[in-house]
Structure 1
Amino acid sequence: MTPPSLPPSRRRRRRTILAAAAVALMASMTACSSGDTASTDTAGDTASGPVTLQFWTWSLKGSDPAAKAIVDKYHQLHPNVTVKLSEVGGTADTSAKLLAADKAGDTPDVVQVEYRGVPALVVSGAVKDITADVAGVKANIDPNIWAQTTFNNQVYGVPQDIGPMMLTFRKDLFDKYGVKVPTTWAEYAEAAEQIHKKNPDAYISNFAADQLEFFAAQAAQAGAQWWSTDGNAWKVGIDTEPSLQTADFWQDLVKRDLVKVEKLLTPEWNAEVNDGKILSWAGGAWVPSVIYTVAPDTAGKWESVPLPQWTKGQAAVPFQGGSAYLVPAKSKHAKEAAAFAAWLGGSKEGSTSLLSVDIFPGGNAGRQATLTHEPPKLTPQQKDFYQVTDQVIKNTTIPVTWGPNVNVAQSAFGDALNKAALDKTSFRAVYQATQQTVVADLQKSGYTVTQ
């Protein structure tokens, strides 16, 4: 497939590298297999003298002994390379900082970015094509995971982790209130009603309007794609009927006060999770790790199950979240940086080491290792956690394509949806307005958009 063309000014800066080409790759994907793959490192230590790689990340914290052990191990394998960890925020903060550093000509060497942020950085020319550098580990990560960082058959990042979607819930309180664990979203709504009736202070979940990625995944599970391609043009589907039906679903729950309108990870939300007033979180398999950081005393009371389905019997879900290691275009040690990224995300030793910092690895070896790994600290009693997760990964066959203006969608969507939730106004109208904003921005930027 030929991807949508860039505006002429951008074509002069870069080859045509739009993320839309990912759709062609995704079309040929098959579901993940959990089989282990022989690990292959890259060419290895390419430095002729000592090199220090600046690594922007939020997953590997310099204060964490396990993270330090990972980079120390790499230094043992490659004595000329030292990796310096610098903690940064999430994708929005990191992308903005990277673009500023790119303009200043002073970038890090490796940067962790969520998958949804990759297309915009590729289009901007801020990150490097590392296809040849990571060829040695290509077989060690499944195609549907590589697809999230591969555009026009060019690789721009090594996958770190993946977010197969699940429902993590307070099993003890579901049992106490006599609530059946939902397998469909209709059952989820019933469970929400039962919980709030049993305890008016308790909710099945909060409603965090700023979680664009979650709502895009909901729409994808229902059969919509917020960004896709149509020949040489972009197509935006935020206001398609399947997407709008998911908006109706959440509007109904908000209207009936069955979910609490508030952001995630605020002091209030943290307290409610600890107090048993928020009973579940639908999200990636990384959710237990996040909950544990704010509510460690609730460990042993939670469990994770496959995500509820819109249509019973249709288990396919998209990934939510996850990130990759990218090499900035102006890295001073790009070869060494790509070699480190390939080792950490794609080699057997690197991929399995990510388990020590509570990351769900994207690499096959790391995924295979999860099957015999202790469950997350939040769910120590759920010995089959990773078996359940692995089955979810096999069902993760819905590709989600991110467009080059995700940031525009985020700005248009989050605040407006939150206001609609508080004011009890139309969610559909927010989705429709976001559609118009995203389309207008693409057209203004010189892209062709078809409806």
Structure 2
Amino acid sequence: MTPPSPSTPRRRRRRTILGAAALAAALMASLAACSSDDSASSGTASASGPVTLEFWTWSLKGSDPAAKAIIDKYHQLHPNVTVKLSEVGGTSDTAAKLLAADQAGDTPDVVQIEYRGVPALVVAGAVKDITADVAGAKSGVDPNIWAQTTFNNQVYGVPQDIGPMVLTYRKDLFDKYGVKVPTTWAEYAEAAEQIHKKDPDAYIASFAANQLEFFAAHAAQAGAQWWSTDGNAWKVGIDSEASLKTADFWQDLVERDLVKVEPLLTPEWNAKVNDGKILSWAAGAWAPSVIYTVAPDTAGKWESAPLPQWTKGQAAVPFLGGSAYLVPAKSKHAKEAAAFAAWLGASEEGSKSLLDVDIFPGGNAGRQATLSAEPPKLMPQQKDFYQVTDQVIKNTTIPVTWGPNVNVAQSAFGDALNKAALDKTSFRAVYQATQQAVLADLQKSGYTVTQ
């Protein structure tokens, strides 16, 4: 569903989101006008003269020879189109920068944004509906992946990469301590207890309170939705009982000193990972690449397994992380930009090429290519790594809706949860306070809210 707009007028960048009936009519008209040889799927640029596309991204770095090779290939295929890479920060910085550029009327042509940042940009009217432009590319990406950039059947971005959730763990130490790889969260708690008993300095994982996206995904796996839409209104479920159940789970582990209260990727965290004192990380399938960058000497000691389940036999999980290519509403070359985005994310050649820059592709061709690819450098011995992750993708049926004020939740949640973990105060209270902060912000911003 299209994220609901505020019910009262806001700054001029706000635009009216069409009603469902009008959207359906517009979509049917646009699809009727498209065919399989649409420019986005064939990559044929429509401009009569040379076009330069400015591409804001943090995944493809101009200094990386593999990234340069990808762009050079596109230039060979489309001599009239030049893609200029502009390196930017993560989603928060990029989204703020894009909104400022939108107000100034001087935007890039393609921008990489994490899935959680897409709804706010859609509601702000800062990105283009590219449904018609990418219609011919739809078969290149599975529906459950397109769903991350699709609202009320309107497509606002081409998926780049995905984060099937897995548990990446130190197999050698699990074996040494006689700990079985947990398949449920109850078993995970038991494993945490066993590990800490065997080595009081070792923990199954760190408790990184600032990882809002993980806690939202964990709650979704338990049946909660932190944001959802109800007609033209928003619903917030951060303090739903299913969500609070996950708060209780982590509070129990923290209070029993079975997870280490430690942010990710700090010098302290990196040292503990290298020393075998933090033994796992529940995250996306991108986690092995991250661990390898900080602990390359531990390569060969890790493996990945499907994420533990709340209810045994229920394997569905959300995606965690990943991003898409969006076309800003004020791009001066929107059609060519959509064509490039579709080639890079959804075509056979483009999707496969993302493997060369260590990206887990969202496109079918890239996913298929992983099955015959070498496993990540962190676990060269786990030859079935990509078979495991591909099965997780097939099981990934839990959609996560991100609201227009994720930044408010992040501000209210992370520091407060970390303080609660250190002070041994109520995690539930943090979730409930975050709920109230998100609701108040939605209402203040003019959105209709229903509970």
**Could you state the TM-score of these two structures normalised by the residue count of structure 1?**
0.92
Please tell me the residue identity of whatever aligns with 1:190.
E
2:428 matched residue in structure 1: 428
Shift of 1:105: 2.3
2:64 matched residue in structure 1: 64
Distance 1:2 1:154, change over 3 A: closer
Shift of 1:230: 2.3
Distance 1:245 1:369 in 2: 39
2:335 is the counterpart of 1:335: yes
1:36 matched residue in structure 2: none
Distance 1:13 1:52 in 2: 25
Q: Does the CA-based 8 Å contact 2:204-2:259 persist in structure 1?
A: yes
Shift of 1:188: 0.7
Shift of 1:18: 9.0
Distance 1:73 1:445 in 2: 45
2:3 is the counterpart of 1:9: no
1:197-227 deviation per Cα after TM superposition (whole angstroms, max 9, x unaligned) = 2122211111111111100011110011111
Distance 1:423 1:436 in 2: 22
2:92 is the counterpart of 1:92: yes
Shift of 1:248: 0.5
Q: Does the CA-based 8 Å contact 1:40-1:348 persist in structure 2?
A: no
**Which runs of 5 or more residues in structure 1 are unaligned?**
25-38
Distance 2:90 2:259 in 1: 26
**Which runs of 5 or more residues in structure 2 are unaligned?**
25-38
Distance 1:286 1:196 in 2: 26
Distance 1:159 1:213, change over 3 A: same
Please tell me the residue identity of whatever aligns with 1:350.
G
Q: Secondary structure at 1:55's aligned position in 2?
A: strand
Distance 1:144 1:18, change over 3 A: farther
Q: Secondary structure at 1:86's aligned position in 2?
A: strand
Q: Does the CA-based 8 Å contact 1:156-1:326 persist in structure 2?
A: yes
Q: Does the CA-based 8 Å contact 1:141-1:363 persist in structure 2?
A: yes
1:52 matched residue in structure 2: 52
1:415 matched residue in structure 2: 415
Distance 1:207 1:112 in 2: 29
Distance 1:372 1:322 in 2: 22
1:361 matched residue in structure 2: 361
Q: Secondary structure at 2:381's aligned position in 1?
A: coil
Distance 1:259 1:17, change over 3 A: farther
Please tell me the residue identity of whatever aligns with 1:90.
G
2:316 is the counterpart of 1:316: yes
**Bigger shift: residues 41-50 or 232-241:** 41-50
Shift of 1:53: 1.7
Distance 2:422 2:284 in 1: 26
2:32 matched residue in structure 1: none
Distance 1:306 1:351, change over 3 A: same
Distance 1:409 1:351, change over 3 A: same
1:116 matched residue in structure 2: 116
Note the 1:157-172 alignment, pairs <5 A: 157-172=157-172
Please tell me the residue identity of whatever aligns with 2:411.
S
2:28 matched residue in structure 1: none
Distance 2:105 2:321 in 1: 29
Distance 1:19 1:203, change over 3 A: farther
Distance 1:20 1:83 in 2: 36
1:155 matched residue in structure 2: 155
Distance 1:308 1:199, change over 3 A: same
Query: Root-mean-square deviation (CA), in Å?
Result: 2.1
1:399 matched residue in structure 2: 399
2:385 matched residue in structure 1: 385
**Bigger shift: residues 51-60 or 345-354:** 51-60
2:107 matched residue in structure 1: 107
1:373-406 deviation per Cα after TM superposition (whole angstroms, max 9, x unaligned) = 1111111111101111111111101111111111
Shift of 1:195: 1.2
1:253 matched residue in structure 2: 253
1:444 matched residue in structure 2: 444
Distance 2:407 2:437 in 1: 11
2:297 matched residue in structure 1: 297
Shift of 1:13: 5.9
Q: Does the CA-based 8 Å contact 1:358-1:376 persist in structure 2?
A: no
1:13-72 deviation per Cα after TM superposition (whole angstroms, max 9, x unaligned) = 665449999xx9xxxxxxxxxxxxxx9834522232222222111111222211111111
Q: Secondary structure at 2:107's aligned position in 1?
A: coil
Note the 1:128-277 alignment, pairs <5 A: 128-277=128-277
Distance 1:414 1:42 in 2: 44
Corresponding residue pairs, total = 435
Distance 1:292 1:120 in 2: 33
Distance 2:149 2:80 in 1: 28
Q: Does the CA-based 8 Å contact 1:20-1:403 persist in structure 2?
A: no
